[in-house]
Amino acid sequence: MLYIVLSGSIHGVEVEEHSSGERVIFLFPSASASQVASGWSAAAFSSFNFLGKSSCKSVSQAHAVEAMAEPAYTIPVFRQRTADETEEYQRVSTNVEKGLAVIQEELHRIRIATKAQVETLAIQKEVKDMMKKRPEFLDDIPKMPDFLVALRPHTVWEKTLVKLFCTVEGNPRPIVKWYKGGLPVDPLSTPGKYKIEDKYGVHSLIISRCVVSDTAEYSAVATNQHGTATSAAKVTVKRPAGAGEPSYLGLVPHLTEIHASKLEVTLLDRFPVSFGVEGGFIKLTCTMVVVPDLPNVPPLAQWYRDDKLLKPSSLAEMSVGGGAASLVLPHLAKDDEGLYTLRIFTKDGTAEHSAYLFVSDAARSKAGAPGAPMSIKAYDINSDYVLVAWKPPNTVNEAPITGYFVDRCEAGSDTWIQCNDSPVKVCKYPVHGLKVGHSYHFRVRAVNRDGIGRPSRESGKVTALDPEESARLQVIKIDGKYDIVIKDDDLEGYVTIPSEPTDVHASEIFKSFIVLSWKPPSPRGRAPLWYVIEKCLAGTGAWQRINTAVKLHSPRYPVYDLQDGQKYQFRVYSVNMYGSSEPSMPSEPVQKVDADGVPSAPGQVVASRNTKSSVFVQWDSPKHQKNLMGYYIDGRAVGSKDWFPCNNKPFKHTRFVVHGLIPGETYVFRVQAANLFGLSDESQESSPISVEPALATPSAPFGITMLSCDGSSMTLAWKSPKHCGGSKVNAYYLDKRDADALVWKEINLEAVTERICTVDNLKEGTFYEFRVTAGNMAGVGVPSAPSLPMKCEAWTMEEPGPAFDLSFSEVRSHSLVLLWKAPVYTGASDVTGYFVDMAKKGSSEFVTMNQEAVSRRYLQVTGLEEGETYVFRVRAVNAKGVGKPSQLSEPVCARPLPGTKEIVAGVDEETGDIYLSLEACEICETSKFVWSKNYKPIGDCPRVSVTKKGRTSRLTFNTPDKDDLGRYSVFVTDTDGVSSSHTLTEDALNTMLELSHAIRHPIVPLKHGLNYEVLEKGHVRFWLQAVKLSPSVSYRFIVNDKEVTSGEGNKISHDVASGIIQMTVENFTRASEGTYTVQISDGKAKTQSSLVLVGEVFKVALKEAEFQKKEHIRKQGPHFSEYLYFTVTEDCTVLLACKVANVKKDTSFHWFKDDDEIIPDTPPNVMSGACALPLSQFSRKDHGIYKAVLSDDRGKDTSVFDISGKVFDDIINAIAQIAGVSASDLVLQCTPEGIRLQCYMTYYTEEMKTIWKHKESKIASSEKMRVGGTAEMAWMQICDPSDKEKGSYAIEISDGVKTHTRTFDLSGQAYTAAYEEYQRLKAAAFAEKNRGRVVGGLPDVVTIMEHKSLSLTCTVWGEPTPEVTWFKNEQEVVSTEHTKTTFDGGKFASMVINKVTPEDSGKYSINVRNKYGGEFVEITVSVYRHGEQIPEPKLGQPKSAPVTPVPPKSPAPPSKTPTPAPSSKTPTPASTPASTPAPKSPTPPRSVKSPTPPRFMKSPTPPRK
């Protein structure tokens, strides 16, 4: 028996003999072994036919007989197989044996086909031989043109290429010309549009980039000398739904030149309609496939904005390469808005793509300010003058623009200078006073009543130059080699005074300004030239100069200060260094007026459907256009009052596509025209239009796949069209054909509504191709591409077939839900689960997302990368294994739709219904909300009901219970995948059930239940508060099961605004004990609240009522409205204060402490309503019980305040808080005893919680470290300091809440200086202690009668024993018989004057001194005669300040200091010799002793005991 096995393209033939003696012939076609195992492939057929064609019938029969007659075949060594190859061979052989019957039948059919082909080849050979014998003279027979292959009609999509072919014969060879609609086709008139070719007798017309206007009848006319023949065909160009924006007509740039290219370029991902903001950044990119892809030779790409070619610059960065062409706009402005076109030159012409870029205004710097102007350009450039023009911005909700400010900036500078002092009202402004040769940039700012807007984008660089300068040059060529440049000055001769200017006229006339222009003089001379302008009222002849302060160098000048309604004439003089010309001829009378004004309003506005997010708007031009710049289109959602701009740059045409609208929303539109005077009135509003796609037939389905086959039928599935055409796809039609046939046959006459269909009556073993066509209400679309050939062969594998219809739901940034349908073919057992595989787009590396098979037909995939694109496949599982993978899903990008919202669960406030609700971010007329539970469509279910309102769908649970728990999802059809899900949990359901019950069985909600409050006079108020009460509320109070009404002893009332219901019981006694209840009815809502007042609760209420009653009685006389309390003032004085009420003038007030009355310095004033007792320098001495008593004839009231325990601590803490805040930094003070750190504060007392620390260790008061303070400060003294005491010191003052810390670092230089000062003061103190001094005994003044004896005696002290010196009138007294001085025992010093005389009167003094210092004491002695009046004593006055003694290291020598002159108050005896020796030291006044250390050097104050 013969077996034929095909596996790949034929490389040879092998014949092997099996052990059974059977022979197998191996042909090697291109198909793989798996294809061989699964059946005959199309490649196998073609390979086998090829074998039949390559041999004649007799030869093939002879070879077949010879092969069958061979007894055996020995396998060569090079044909021997490895173990793996043997295993593969055995697997293939096994599969071949299984299909033996099928192969035999195929072999029989192939033999018949081979025989037919061999016979055909023989016939063809015979015909060829006969053709060779054809007489050659036939070529000379004349023949008129005849079309062997005529033109056929074409229907193509817009922007595609169409080729018209025809074949013509005739003798002589005809000439073919092409016509469109009867007019000749001229390829040169529109380069790149048409291409005419003639190759091998085949004539062709190629039309590139078809547009709708290319729809016409095309004809080919063939002509020779014997006649003419014509063939015609209709070409129809269609526009797909949503494609080919009508607004682009007139904006897509015309192709003006062809750039030859040998590259084939196909655009892939194209940039969409884009939206940017001023100051932002945007990148437009098209990816493409280039063949051949040469890295160093990228295709030529051009970018256009509207119809203008863009050049690379800092504002437009372009790049081509790496499979993409990009345009980056790094600094967006409204100037960048427009239609962007990418044109790439290819082998067949060009590849193009266009999309609009919208640029909106940036956030306003001030609310209500206008947007920025745009398109700033400079015209009429002269040496010191330029005319700046711009386009006005759109004003939608802002106030109208009142004017513009123009700014200039020199190139290279960042400083902008405002050119006009007041806003200019038109979109032009002449800038004057520029510097010749300097370059400038200009910008414009708009102004309205709310402020100044953002500046525009700056203009390009403008250089102020005289344009006439180049015109005054002549270039003469000599011999074609040399150029001679001659100035007009050289030809004019020697001219001094220039001639007058000519043609004086107004080149710009506006209400704001007039620009005068004239022609320069000729001849003008070589000297620098300037101009003088004069004006006069028309017809008066009274000329006056107008540019007195400005030298004009250019023949332009703006004039501003002209009166309204007056006509003026102007004339100009030419002036140079030699003088002035005659005046020019006067200009025509000129009046400043806005000649045109704004345009009239545009005409009727019509809006029509375009795509699901755009609307096509067109309108009629205004009747009076007046130099129209363009149009602004505004939109408004129906129901809203706010308009929004649809474009931000004037649009030139009367049709526009408004993008970025909300799908399903309804809008109206209006249009304004703009020119240099501003914006026109708004047009009438358009009719409302809903944002829906324009109706069209659907696009082609795709992805045809086989789900099952039983040998006579196939079950097919396919994917929905990518574009539904604006209406629901409701029909599918299938066609089939044999794989080797050309004619399609219809399968179904009646439409198939589902995307799955079983095709019957198929022939087993035959290969079929299928195609599907979709239809909607607009008609039937184009058919899909043919499927791959599918063999009608029964599936017998045990594993399940592929899952199908993969779809996505709830696509978010990092997750999505994948859904699929179960396989039609289940295999040997039921499907038990599924595996989901995922791969990034373009990758073949799939990752299984679930480790264990899932039984449900959906899977939530998480962990996605935002913005990344993925593909998925699903594999079904049964008991026999894992089946074939499904067809790959469509690529999906992990990015949610803009405005995506989630399902909301809630309870209806009116009905109490529990619902799930979704508001779709986009919708269209045909959209439906499909709700599912656990991703199974709910359909008509009695448990739920679905309603839709606008873009919101609500799923309401009719009888919610636990059976409704689960995951609910909703999908909105005919959108880009609007979907969401929500898991209803038991806790959430219970919460909503409680709320639903509360809504359906309403109660009056209470803020506060029934409560009581004790009022003045002992009245008790029972009250409750409801959240809300209506005016029709009713209620009743029940006490101990008896209703209580308002009457004597009870007052019942309510307040609707506050929701309070109350009852006041005036006489609350022991009989009032019991239960109190309030019952409320308010419409359908009811409630009640009870309060039980029994036992201890009642006793507390009764006690409080009785207390309030007593309080009421107390307050009938003088009483304390506020009892005693304390406050602490800023100076740390403690005030015991109280407030009194119901007092009169004779009401007395008394203070007591521990029952002892306190009489304050300021008597209390009860009429002021407040009394206070100050306690200054508060300390522990102020402990006690304070009492305030208030009384008069009406009664008496007492307030007691116990300052002890916690109250005392609170007062100390309050003092510490003020003291701590006021505490100064630690101050270093040295004393003779040591080094002291002092902290000054408002008040200090030892009861304050004060801690001293040294190096974070607490310091306890000791002999070494003494801690103390005064009322002004706290101090810590280091006695006899040493190096151990170096370091950081701190004082912490605690007020019970906060600790106030002050620190001082006693180390380094600070310690060294302090220690030296301490040693000095210690020495000074020792000297002060041991210096010589007068202890006592001397009077200040002595009055004595003459002739009596005077004895001045005193006790002195000093260690060592001091020296004593007596002086009279600052002259040392020498001991004589008359005046005798003695010093006994180093202790008693005396001076005795015997028999005093008036000459002995004077100022005496004693100087007691040792090495540590001394003391000077003065005595005034007055001697009077017997019988005279005793004189008034006069004390002597010192003449100079005492000198501070410094302890000497050795006994000091007598002082050399000059003796001061005697005081004028002290009599000086005339007999005092001039040669009196100087005293040992100056005489200080009596009260002056050795110096005392200043305040900061005082001895330490001992602490309080």
- Token pair listed for 1067: 């006489």
pLDDT of 539 reads 85
Of 80-89, 821-830, 1219-1228, minimum mean pLDDT range: 80-89
- Report whether 863 contacts 874 (CB < 8 A): no
- Give the helix/strand (H/E) hosting 1318: helix 1308-1330
Q: What's phi and psi for 918, nearest 5 deg?
A: -135, 130
DSSP structure string for 363-432: PPSSTT-----EEEEEES--SSEEEEEEEPPP-SSSPPP-EEEEEEEETT----EE--SS-BSSSEEEEE
- Report whether 981 contacts 810 (CB < 8 A): yes
- Token pair listed for 1504: 């309080």
Confidence of residue 1249 (pLDDT cuts 50, 70, 90): very high
Q: Find the mean pLDDT for residues 358-377.
A: 91
β-sheet bridge partners, residue 1418: 1405
Mean pLDDT of the chain: 83
Task: Name the pairing type of β-strands 1341-1345 and 1413-1424.
Answer: parallel
The one-character DSSP state at 21 is S
Closest-CA residue to 57 (of 129, 111, 2): 111
Confidence of residue 1147 (pLDDT cuts 50, 70, 90): very high
Burial class (CB in 10 A: 0-12, 13-18, 19+), 409: middle
Q: Find the mean pLDDT for residues 1257-1277.
A: 90
Closest-CA residue to 1433 (of 1443, 1442, 1423, 1447): 1423
- Report whether 726 contacts 696 (CB < 8 A): yes
pTM over 0.75? The answer is no
Distance, CA of 1333 to CA of 722 (rounded, Å)? 122
Count H helices, E strands: the chain? 11, 102
Distance, CA of 670 to CA of 1299 (rounded, Å)? 72
Q: Greatest CA separation found in the chain?
A: 198
- Report whether 474 contacts 492 (CB < 8 A): no
- Token pair listed for 753: 């509504």
pLDDT of 90 reads 66
- Residues 201-220 pLDDT 10s: 789 999 888 888 888 899 99
- Token pair listed for 1251: 């801690």
pLDDT of 99 reads 64
On the question of pLDDT at 1135 being above 70, the answer is: yes
pLDDT of 1446 reads 36
Amino acid at 396: V
Quote the strand ranges of 239-337, DSSP E: 264-267, 274-277, 282-291, 301-305, 308-309, 317-321, 324-329
Q: Find the mean pLDDT for residues 601-611.
A: 89
- Report whether 159 contacts 129 (CB < 8 A): no
- Give the helix/strand (H/E) hosting 609: strand 605-611
**Cα distances (angstroms) measured from residue 586 to each of 501, 539, 574:** 11, 11, 14
Q: Find the mean pLDDT for residues 236-251.
A: 57
**Cα distances (angstroms) measured from residue 541 to each of 505, 568, 570:** 17, 10, 10
Residue listed under structure tokens 């499979």:
323
Of 26-30, 339-343, 413-417, minimum mean pLDDT range: 26-30
pLDDT of 1412 reads 87
On the question of pLDDT at 62 being above 90, the answer is: no
β-sheet bridge partners, residue 966: 984
Distance, CA of 422 to CA of 404 (rounded, Å)? 8
Can you say how many angstroms the Cα of residue 611 is from the centroid of all Cα atoms in its chain?
A: 31
pLDDT of 1454 reads 38
- Percent helix, strand, coil in the chain (nearest 5)? 15, 40, 45
- Token pair listed for 1133: 């004085």
β-sheet bridge partners, residue 734: 772
Distance, CA of 1204 to CA of 1210 (rounded, Å)? 10
- Token pair listed for 191: 């380069």
On the question of pLDDT at 1464 being above 60, the answer is: no
Quote the strand ranges of 692-845, DSSP E: 702-709, 714-719, 731-738, 745-746, 756-759, 767-776, 779-783, 790-791, 804-809, 815-821, 833-840
Distance, CA of 314 to CA of 305 (rounded, Å)? 16
Distance, CA of 1406 to CA of 1420 (rounded, Å)? 12
- Find all residues with CB under 8 Å of 421, minimum gap 6, and list them: none
Q: Find the mean pLDDT for residues 1064-1068.
A: 91
pLDDT of 480 reads 62
pLDDT of 926 reads 72
Burial class (CB in 10 A: 0-12, 13-18, 19+), 749: exposed
Residue listed under structure tokens 């086989």:
706
Quick one: what percent of the chain has pLDDT higher than 70? 84
- Residues 917-946 pLDDT 10s: 999 988 877 788 999 998 888 888 889 999
On the question of pLDDT at 243 being above 90, the answer is: no
Closest-CA residue to 330 (of 341, 318, 340, 317): 317
- Token pair listed for 305: 């904005």
DSSP structure string for 1383-1418: EETTTEEEEEESS--GGG-EEEEEEEEETTEEEEEE
pLDDT of 10 reads 37
Task: Name the pairing type of β-strands 2-6 and 23-27.
Answer: parallel
- Residues 808-864 pLDDT 10s: 999 999 999 999 999 999 999 999 999 999 999 988 899 999 999 999 999 999 999
Task: Name the pairing type of β-strands 833-840 and 847-848.
Answer: antiparallel
Q: Find the mean pLDDT for residues 1096-1125.
A: 89
β-sheet bridge partners, residue 343: 302, 352
Integer-rounded Cα Rg, in Å, for the chain is: 59
pLDDT of 34 reads 37
pLDDT of 280 reads 93
Who wins on pLDDT, 1309 or 491? 1309
Contacts of residues 837-841 at CB distance under 8 Å and 24 or more positions apart, as own/partner, are 837/872, 837/873, 837/874, 837/875, 837/885, 838/870, 838/871, 838/872, 839/870, 839/871, 839/872, 840/868, 840/869, 840/870, 840/871, 841/869, 841/870, 841/871, 841/891
Who wins on pLDDT, 1459 or 663? 663
Confidence of residue 136 (pLDDT cuts 50, 70, 90): low
Phi-psi region of 1189 (alpha: psi -120 to 50; beta: other; left: phi over 0): beta
Distance, CA of 147 to CA of 167 (rounded, Å)? 6
Can you say how many angstroms the Cα of residue 318 is from the centroid of all Cα atoms in its chain?
A: 28
pLDDT of 105 reads 73
Q: What's phi and psi for 1296, nearest 5 deg?
A: 90, -20
Q: Find the mean pLDDT for residues 1467-1491.
A: 37
pLDDT of 483 reads 64
- Token pair listed for 178: 């092409």
Who wins on pLDDT, 509 or 55? 509
- Report whether 233 contacts 218 (CB < 8 A): yes
Handedness of CA 450, 452, 457, 461 (dihedral sign): positive
Q: Find the mean pLDDT for residues 1289-1308.
A: 92
- Residues 1020-1046 pLDDT 10s: 999 999 999 999 999 999 999 999 998
Distance, CA of 148 to CA of 1116 (rounded, Å)? 131
Distance, CA of 516 to CA of 559 (rounded, Å)? 7
Of 23-32, 311-320, 443-452, minimum mean pLDDT range: 23-32
Q: What's phi and psi for 1448, nearest 5 deg?
A: -80, 155
On the question of pLDDT at 776 being above 90, the answer is: no
pLDDT of 1468 reads 33
Q: HSE-up of 966 (CA within 13 Å, CB side)? A: 14
- Residues 185-195 pLDDT 10s: 988 777 778 88
On the question of pLDDT at 1459 being above 80, the answer is: no
pLDDT of 704 reads 93
Distance, CA of 1144 to CA of 1190 (rounded, Å)? 11
- Token pair listed for 379: 């015209």
- Residues 1371-1409 pLDDT 10s: 888 888 889 999 888 888 999 999 899 888 999 999 999
